[in-house]
Amino acid sequence: MTDMPDTTLTPDPSHVAEGHPSSDDAAGYYTPGTPLTDTKAPGGPIADRWQTRKFEARLVNPANRRKLDVIIVGTGLAGASAAATMGEAGYNVKSFCYQDSPRRAHSIAAQGGINAAKNYKEDGDSAHRLFYDTVKGGDYRSRESNVYRLAEVSVNIIDQCVAQGVPFAREYGGLLDNRSFGGVQVSRTFYARGQTGQQLLIGAYQALERQVAAGTVETFTRHEMLELIVVDDGDGPRARGIIVRDMVTGEIETHLADVVVLASGGYGNVFFLSTNAMGCNVTAAWRAHRKGAYMANPCYTQIHPTCIPVTGSHQSKLTLMSESLRNDGRIWVPKKKEDCDKDPRSIAEEDRDYFLERIYPSFGNLVPRDIASRAAKYMCDEGRGVGPEVDGVRRGVYLDFQDAIARLGKEGVEEKYDNLLDMYERITGENPYEVPMRIYPAVHYVMGGLWVDYDLQSTIPGLFVTGEANFSDHGANRLGASALMQGLADGYFVLPHTIRDYLADAPFEKIPEDHPAVVEAKQAVTERIEHFLTVNGTRSVDSYHRELGNIMWEYCGMERTEDGLKKAIDLIRSLKDDFYRNVKVLGTADSLNQSLEKAGRVADFFELGELMCIDALNRRESCGGHFRAESQTEDGEALRHDDQFAYVAAWEFAGEKPVLHKEELTYTAIEMKQRSYK
């Protein structure tokens, strides 16, 4: 047994805090650590901070840049934009992705749009308002300096993308169109029909490929990062490279550099079923975490209420439909359980329970995402869900357009929603103009990620993290059309400036491939692969992943409780043990082997899942995408506890008992308020 998770690791004593709070749900599951501060964010008025930092960050002589090697893992919006920009600046960039082309990264699937404080509609928008909306939307759990910067650079993103040829929607006069999105009161969302992510990603991809032709960027497709190389040559540890596996030949390659950037996306696939792509995984981030990068707020998960429900145990992923459907569709379940398998059209009006309209009369079907999601879950838990039974429960509620058709006519509904309704029909085979649609919530995005400072640098010097892979900008909940904004802001406009302060000290001493740190990292990877291929157990990787996903969804999904989370941790631990003993991975190490790829990813999901539960257990409050049943108002609304939890929970890896470092959140430019929608 070569690669059992090291549970005996003890944390660095200097990181461990004195004392132990007694009324602590997660007591015993973690070790309290020293507080953490972001030392890079400049002080002063919030609107000046980014300018100050850009000025203070040291420059790198253009002649030196080509001598500096930059590794960027991931080619989504955050990775491709960073690689292109760093290439343009003259650095020597290596870009890695597990897909067969950089253009396939999952940013491509984002539908709605991208926010930017252009104020083209003259409706009172500004960087400050976008900042305000984002902090508030994040339930006051994000870092205000970062968010302000995000809002500030948002306008540059649109300019850049338009110049690249991104075909945004336009008005008749030839100027860019905007729409309002995600419940905000200004129209600041730029869009390209329902394929904004695709168009933005292709813009970044083209910029990246242009640099490949220019010789500044080298791309490594079908390459998966399996380990981070951290070297301490006397002046403290630094990230100096990565170990990757060529997914076609199986060769384990070492790539060394002066700096490593992770733009490897989110980890929603820990739930097995999510709207993420099949290949989305946490391995790059988790390997970095195990090497010393703290993981921040891992429990913050965004769940989207309007996805197409699961149809059976064969289900491999979930598909999201735009939330705009709730503007005209009415959500209901049968009042009586015995009606649940009936044709919905035959259920009389008085036998239908329009539960959102009933419970939240003023907002009705337009309650926020998390409320709508939880309400649907409760209905199904009660046994009033509809659609096919999966593992004994019907998980779906109706989203009915009959009233809308009566009001607007079929043409009216078609005009607004035809692409969504067509997509629904393609997937389900049911005509939503005749039969009510069925929807159910699904995991969509994770706000948590590797902890980074204002410079986007993790707790490992020389390891930078951008996009969904970091935790920084969305707090406990992300606003619609803000993920694309953050990915591109990080890659085009933030990282290229902040990274130069680090690279001003480079080039660092060359590392030979036989350096002990390199050899050790490479050996760890080889042994792990060897282990998976030699267990020769009885269960497939997917079956473990599915079971882990069920545990996470049940206990660390829409609603979390102390008991449930503790149970989940036990279940995950025993499942993980079984996985290492009983998994069955066929094929060889030196060929294209998709089971082997998945085995490594699932192994890391186990450890992440456990940490997510511990983080959720620790945070005995409800905020944004994290709902603790113990912390709600009498009306069932999420209840924050700013006095106890206005901090970022940054977890240091230490085996089974991680160390919690708290970064206090202070707000100087905005006042904390409790969310209210009633």
Partner 1 sequence: MKLTLNIWRQTDANDAGAMHTYQVDDVSPDMSFLEMLDVLNEDLNAKDEEPIAFDSDCREGICGMCSLMINGEPHGPEVTTTCQLHMRSFKDGDTITIEPWRASAFPVLKDLCVDRSAFDRIIQAGGYISVNTGSAPEAHSVPVPRDDAMRAFNVATCIGCGACVAACPNGSASLFMGAKITHLGELPQGQPERDSRVTNMVAQHDHEGFGGCTNIGECAAACPKEIPLDVISQLNKDLRTAIKHGH
* Interacting positions 293-322 with partner 1 (CB under 8 A): 311-312, 314-317, 319-320
CB of 445 to partner 1, least distance (A): 15
Q: How far is CA 187 from CA 114, 170, 174, 328, 471, in A?
A: 11, 14, 17, 20, 26
Closest CA to 242 of 468, 66, 73, 6: 73
Indicate which single residue of 174, 234, 392, 512 sits in contact with partner 1 (rule: CB under 8 A). 174
List the interface residues with partner 1, window 607-666 (CB under 8 A). Answer: none
Q: Do 436 and 296 contact (CB within 8 A), yes or no?
A: no
Q: What contacts 358, CB < 8 A, 6 or more positions away?
A: none
593 vs 622, beta carbon nearer partner 1 = 593
**269 contacts partner 1 (rule: CB under 8 A):** no
Rule CB under 8 A: say whether 584 interacts with partner 1: yes
Q: Spell out the SS3 assignment of 33-77.
A: ECCCCCCCCCCCCHHHHHHHHHHHCCCCCHHHHCCCEEEEECCCH
Sign of the dihedral defined by the CA atoms of residues 125, 123, 481, 436, in that order:
positive
Which lies closer to partner 1 via its Cβ, residue 4 or residue 248? 248
Instruction: Say which amino acid occupies 465.
Output: V
Q: Does 96 bind partner 1 (CB under 8 A)?
A: no
* Least Å from the CB of residue 490 to partner 1: 12
CB of 375 to partner 1, least distance (A): 25
Query: Rounded to the nearest 10 degrees, what angle do helices 144-164 and 127-137 cross at?
Result: 120
- Cα-based distances in Å from 288 to 85, 140, 260, 282, 390: 24, 27, 10, 10, 37
Residue 220's SS3 state is strand
Beta carbons within 10 angstroms of residue 412's beta carbon: 13
Q: Hey, is 272 helix, strand or coil?
A: coil
CB of 208 or CB of 230, closer to partner 1: 208
How many amino acids of this chain bind partner 1 (CB under 8 A)? 82
How far, in Å, CA of 445 to CA of 468, rounded? 8
Smallest separation (angstroms) from partner 1 to the CB of 116 = 9
369 noted as active-site residue: yes
* Nearest CB to partner 1, comparing residues 225 and 614: 225
Sheet with strand 659-664: strands edge to edge: 31-32, 659-664, 647-652, 295-296, 449-450
8 A C-beta contact, residue 486 and residue 48: no
Return the number of the residue (85 or 92) whose C-beta is nearest partner 1. Answer: 85
Residue 422 phi, psi (nearest 5)? -65, -40
Give me the 540-559 binding string for partner 1, x by CB under 8 A, dash otherwise: x-xx----------------
Catalytic, out of 369, 478, 601, 628: 369
- The reply on whether position 62 binds partner 1 by CB under 8 A is no
Q: H/E element holding 304?
A: strand 301-307
Q: CA-based Rg of the chain, rounded to a whole angstrom?
A: 24
Within 13 Å and on the Cβ side, how many CA atoms surround 90?
Answer: 10
**Of positions 7, 431, 594, 666, contacts partner 1 by CB under 8 A:** 594
Q: How far is the CB of 452 from partner 1 (least distance, A)?
A: 20
Stretch that binds partner 1, among 20-28, 43-51, 56-64, 277-285 (CB under 8 A): 277-285
The minimum distance between CB 538 and partner 1, in angstroms, equals: 8
Query: Helix H segments across 182-238?
Result: 196-214
Q: Is 587 in the site for partner 1 (CB under 8 A)?
A: yes
- Output 268 or 624, the one with its CB closest to partner 1: 268
Q: Which of 104, 188, 384, 576 binds partner 1 (CB under 8 A)?
A: 104
Q: Report the residue number, 374 or 500, with the smaller CB distance to partner 1.
A: 500
Restricting to residues 345-384, name those near partner 1 by CB under 8 A.
Answer: none
Q: Which string of x and - marks every residue 485-524 that binds partner 1 (by CB under 8 A)? A: -------xx--x----------------------------
Contacts with partner 1 in 379-408 (CB under 8 A)? 388
Pick 157 or 569: Cβ nearer partner 1: 157
Separation between Cα atoms, residue 134 and residue 116, nearest integer Å:
12
User: Could you give the C-alpha distances from 631 to 142, 369, 393, 624, in angstroms and in order?
Assistant: 20, 18, 27, 12
Please identify, using beta-carbon distances, which residue of 393 and 406 lies nearer to partner 1. Answer: 393
Q: How far is the CB of 432 from partner 1 (least distance, A)?
A: 16
Strands (E) across 360-515 are located at: 389-390, 393-394, 397-400, 437-446, 449-450, 463-465
Q: Is 101 helix (H, G, I), strand (E, B) or coil?
A: coil
Least CB distance to partner 1 at residue 104 (A) = 4
**Stretch 1-40: interaction string toward partner 1, x if CB under 8 A:** ----------------------------------------
Q: In the complex with partner 1, which residue's Cβ is closer, 15 or 546?
A: 546
Determine contact, residues 228/239, Cβ cutoff 8 Å. Answer: yes
Stretch that binds partner 1, among 39-47, 103-111, 223-231, 627-635 (CB under 8 A): 103-111
Residues from 180 through 239 that contact partner 1 (CB under 8 A): 192-193, 195, 198-199, 202, 205-207, 209-210, 212-213, 219, 221
The residue (of 63 and 163) whose beta carbon lies closer to partner 1 is 163
- Does the protein bind partner 1 through residue 179 (CB under 8 A)? no
Q: Which of 195, 199, 196, 211 is nearest to 165 (CA)?
A: 199
CB of 99 to partner 1, least distance (A): 6
User: Which residues in 414-443 contact partner 1 (CB under 8 A)?
Assistant: 426-429
Classified as helix, coil or strand, 656 is strand
Q: In this chain, which of 159, 251, 411, 513 binds partner 1, going by CB under 8 A? A: 159
Nearest approach, Cβ of residue 494 and partner 1 (Å): 11
Stretch that binds partner 1, among 66-74, 225-233, 327-335, 593-601 (CB under 8 A): 593-601
Short-list 659, 571, 575, CA closest to 613: 571
Question: Could you tell me the smallest distance in angstroms from the CB atom of residue 210 to partner 1?
Answer: 4
| Stretch touching partner 1 by CB under 8 A, among 35-43, 100-108, 254-262, 478-486 | 100-108
Footprint (CB under 8 A) of partner 1, residues 113-132: 118, 120
Of positions 4, 27, 59, 248, contacts partner 1 by CB under 8 A: 248
Burial of 28 (0-12, 13-18, 19+ CB in 10 A): exposed
Under rule CB under 8 A, residue 171 binds partner 1? yes
Q: Which is nearer to partner 1, 171 or 563 (CB)?
A: 171
Q: Could you give the string, one character per residue 74-93, with x where binding to partner 1 holds by CB under 8 A and - elsewhere?
A: -------x--xx--x-----
DSSP assignment of 326-366? GGT-EEEEESSGGGTTS-GGGS-GGGEE-HHHHHSTTTGGG
Interacting stretch for partner 1, rule CB under 8 A, among 31-39, 173-181, 364-372, 665-673?
A: 173-181
Do the bridges between strand 259-262 and strand 463-465 make them parallel or antiparallel, or are there none, so unpaired?
parallel
> Which residues are designated catalytic?
369
